[in-house]
Amino acid sequence: MKELQSGDFVVVTGSSAFAGKIARLLYRAPDCDFCLPDGHSHIACQAGDWVLEFPQKVPALKRGCQSPCMTKYLCSPESQLKLLGNTGGLDVLFGTPLSTAAPTARAMAA
């Protein structure tokens, strides 16, 4: 099986609320306290997880939020991702070109 890379399109598998959703891989999380591209830190993110971009906002728990926030970005372990085969044209769903630059790690204030 092909190794996952930034820019690949995947389907989220497993028993999460996001199972069955298509996402684009951005980069691997540098640590569990870094900020996602929307400025929040996902509550379940672990170092080495993939940062996913969804074509539309989804509800998710994030650090510092009392209730689910709407976001296009989440983290997921590679074991819950399945690579899509023919992905021609999926870039259009995401509206922006892929930026593969990983963020610098920064601690989140509690």
Mean pLDDT of 76-82: 92
The domain containing residue 21 runs over which residues? 9-85
Is 31 among the domain residues? Answer: yes
Least confident of 4-8, 34-38, 75-79: 34-38
Number of domains comprising the chain: 1
Structure tokens at 47: 């170092």
Instruction: Quote the radius of gyration of the chain (alpha carbons, Å).
Output: 13
Is 1 among the domain residues? Answer: no
Cβ–Cβ under 8 Å, residues 107 and 34: no
Is 27 among the domain residues? Answer: yes
pLDDT tens, 28-73?
Answer: 988 777 788 888 776 778 889 999 999 998 887 766 667 778 888 8
Is 34 among the domain residues? Answer: yes
Enter the pTM of the model. 0.76
Is 110 among the domain residues? Answer: no
Is 13 among the domain residues? Answer: yes
Cβ–Cβ under 8 Å, residues 74 and 58: yes
Measure the CA angle with vertex 95, ends 24 and 88; round to 5°: 60
Is 51 among the domain residues? Answer: yes
Is 72 among the domain residues? Answer: yes
Mean pLDDT of 12-32: 88
Would the pLDDT of 109 be above 70?
no
